[in-house]
Amino acid sequence: MPDEISILGLAGKVALVTGGGAGIGRATAELYARAGMKVAVAEIEPVRAASVREALGSDHLVVEADVRKADDVARLIEAVRGRFGRLDVVVNNVGDYLGFKTPFEQSNEDEWHALYHVNLLHMFHVSKAAIPLMRASGPGGSIINVSTIEAFRGIPMTVVYSAFKAAVTGFTQSLAVELGQHGIRVNAIAPETTNSAQIVATPRVPPENLEHLKRWFPIGRFGEGSDSAGAALFLASDTLSGWVSGTTIHVDGGVLAAGAWMRMANDAWTHLPVIQADGYTPRPEAR
């Protein structure tokens, strides 16, 4: 049922969330429903699809689809059109797939194609198919692309992944310029490491190193799906972000702003390398 966040002017709007069966997508779909929106979820995994279908209830739509495939996307958009008759918000959430952790020179073209399909191509498919229905629904539409903070800094061993995420930024900016005339805004969200179905962050930190989280992140913790969902709610609302387009919100606990700066155990600051171990990946030899 809608609650106090219905003041955001989203009640009755229709949103499509891809990869909405778990993690950031699931948190976004549920928050949108709380805001009074009609939510359509695309989910490839049947168990997750069934779970989010039960959680959202019969007022909403869950479609099992692989958004990497144009035919599945066409079927998805037709399902949204048939059920709701309009589309106001699209969240391109699928894609936080690092894939193959190897030096670039050891990567191969098959890996490049797999990373392209998961991290970028699906945004092309979904956005292209959704735009006509969004435009027909009237002004005030919003496309939200979920990227990663790795689009804005270098990351070794996953070079191709990072390249496609950087491309999401260019796609977001250019599409925003192109669609502004139709009243459709396009923005992105770039999360840091976030606990999700794909990334189990907090539990894999050795218990003796949990205290270090307060030093690695200025805000002092890994992200949760609700953090990015909140940014997606902001970007969906014309009341809050009606003049925001072509930009990226960094949902990263202040990490990108901090750069190399880190707070040490004695509360002093350093920008020097942490030589012995990162305290994040268990390394028995570095005790």
Active site residues: 161
What is each CA distance from 55 to 22, 92, 184, in whole angstroms?
Answer: 11, 21, 29
Q: Is the dihedral of CA 69, 71, 76, 77 positive or negative?
A: positive
Query: Could you give the CA distance from residue 188 to residue 185 in angstroms, rounded to a whole number?
Result: 10
| Cβ-contact 52, 29 below 8 angstroms | yes
CA distances from 65 to 16, 45, 70, 218, 257 (A): 12, 8, 10, 38, 37
